Amino acid sequence: MMETVHVGLAGREYDIHIGPGLLARSGELIRPLLKRPRVAIVSDENVAALHLDALKSGLQAAEIESVSLTLPAGESTKGWPQFTRTVEWLLEQKIERNDVVIAFGGGVIGDLVGFASAVLRRGVRFVQIPTSLLAQVDSSVGGKTGINAPQGKNLIGAFHQPSLVLADTAVLGTLTERDFLAGYGEVVKYGLLGDFEFFQWLEANASCAASGDMDARIYAVKRSVQMKAGIVERDETEQGDRALLNLGHTFCHALEAATGYSDRLLHGEGVAIGCALAFEVSARMGLCSQEDPSRLRAHLRDMKMKVDLSDIEGELPDADALIALMGQDKKVVDGKIRFIMARGIGQAFVTQDVDMTIVRTVLQQALDAR
């Protein structure tokens, strides 16, 4: 079974195929893009060990030759040294302007390889084959590519849309439970930001998706990607609506910085906690009912996810220091933090008009509960 979502950006449109067994079908699906039957694959050590042979066989089935580069796994790969290595390797492999590069991995590989493709010979096409839930529902779609700088995450990059995305949902079976649930933080975000019915569906079905039900996994990825595609079509370069995708992220980025971007807090875990905090602030500001943050927290607890600051191990800075870290977020405009608040589940909006005394109180109470 394969579902398809189309991203209708004029001149840069592409399909996202979702379903099990897409690695085996990669050759037939990628072949129409190719001017010659040769591709370059960039992956990481974990993904390559588990899945590179399957991808190469799928390509070979359509008589596509491939060369591959395997980078170290982990966030530290997403910087200048591995980026330079990737670009120079692609040049050594004589990847031409009309060739296609495949980004095969999670968000780190997708972002780095997308950026390498954006600048190689002033831009070559690339295909995203995301292998983590987070990459399938968020980072592989929409064309944000880049690497980290010593000054912060994702500060160097370009908008460069992929030519095709293959989200093989069978590959999700090799994720650890923690990684799957971290990706789920981005899935639940879509229901919260714009689709109450999807949130209700998740309340009823997300635990089946987490325990491996393939139909539930396919629907969760498809609905997430449909919502992301719609937002990207309206606002590709984040002048307005695309910022909705950052629901929970201002809090998340401060918490990630406070925990040193370490295993203490994975990005998707920070998104889930950040969404709960954003709904709590929204309720205290009288924008939504107090039932909404309670309902969200109950769902995250049902999913056995991190929900509160007390679920983060080790020390955290005080509320003022966390607010200072929020001020480092690249979403700050004219010195004011841009928040995503909600009038209810499924009704998020972008605002700079947030009462910071309420933000401070919510954070302080969450820290006091630790």
User: By C-beta, is 252 or 362 nearer to ligand GLY?
Assistant: 252
Give me the helix-helix angle, 214-234 and 177-194, nearest 10°: 50
Ligand-binding annotation for 51, yes or no, is: no
Helix-then-strand count for the chain, H and E: 13, 11
- Residue among 144, 217, 284, 306 flagged as catalytic: 144
Is 249 a catalytic site residue? yes
List the structure tokens of 142.
Answer: 């929409």
Query: Judged by CB under 6 A, how many residues of this single chain contact ligand GLY?
Result: 5
* Long-range contacts, stretch 202-205, CB < 8 angstroms, 24+ apart: 202/299, 203/299, 203/302
Shortest reach from residue 186's CB to ligand GLY, in Å: 8
Ligand-binding annotation for 111, yes or no, is: yes
Residue 267 binds ligand GLY (CB under 6 A): no
With 0-12 / 13-18 / 19 or more C-beta atoms within 10 angstroms meaning exposed / middle / buried, residue 85 is: middle
List the structure tokens of 218.
Answer: 């396919």
Query: Measuring CA to CA, which residue among 255, 263, 250, 289 is closest to residue 367?
Result: 255
CA distances from 160 to 96, 117, 165 (A): 17, 8, 13
User: By C-beta, is 142 or 268 nearer to ligand GLY?
Assistant: 142
Q: Which single residue brings its beta carbon nearest to ligand GLY?
A: 245
Distance, in Å, from the CA atom of 94 to the CA atom of 99, rounded to the nearest integer, reads 9
* Among the listed residues 78, 217, 242, 299, the single contact to ligand GLY using CB under 6 A: 242
Ligand-binding annotation for 336, yes or no, is: no
Ligand-binding annotation for 249, yes or no, is: yes
Residue 138 binds ligand GLY (CB under 6 A): yes
Shortest reach from residue 321's CB to ligand GLY, in Å: 25
Residue 144 binds ligand GLY (CB under 6 A): yes
Using DSSP, state whether 351 is helix, strand or coil.
strand
Ligand-binding annotation for 147, yes or no, is: no
Residue 142 binds ligand GLY (CB under 6 A): yes
Residue 253 binds ligand GLY (CB under 6 A): no
Is 267 a catalytic site residue? yes
Distance, in Å, from the CA atom of 26 to the CA atom of 168, rounded to the nearest integer, reads 10
Ligand-binding annotation for 109, yes or no, is: yes
Using DSSP, state whether 169 is helix, strand or coil.
coil
Is 246 a catalytic site residue? yes
Binding mask 96-135 for ligand GLY (x = CB under 6 A): ----------------------------------------
Is 94 a catalytic site residue? no
Q: What share of the chain is helix, strand, coil (3-state, %, to 5)?
A: 50, 20, 30
Ligand-binding annotation for 140, yes or no, is: no
Is 253 a catalytic site residue? yes
- Residues 241, 235 contacting (CB under 8 angstroms): yes
Query: Using CB under 6 A, which of the segments 22-30, 86-94, 118-126, 138-146 binds ligand GLY?
Result: 138-146
DSSP state of 212: T
- Which residues does the annotation place in the binding site? 107-111, 131-132, 144, 153, 186, 249, 267
Give the residue ranges of the annotated binding site for NAD(+): 107-111, 131-132, 144, 153
* Contact set with ligand GLY (CB under 6 A): 138, 142, 144, 242, 245
Indicate which residues carry an active-site annotation: 122, 144, 186, 228, 238, 242, 246, 249, 253, 267
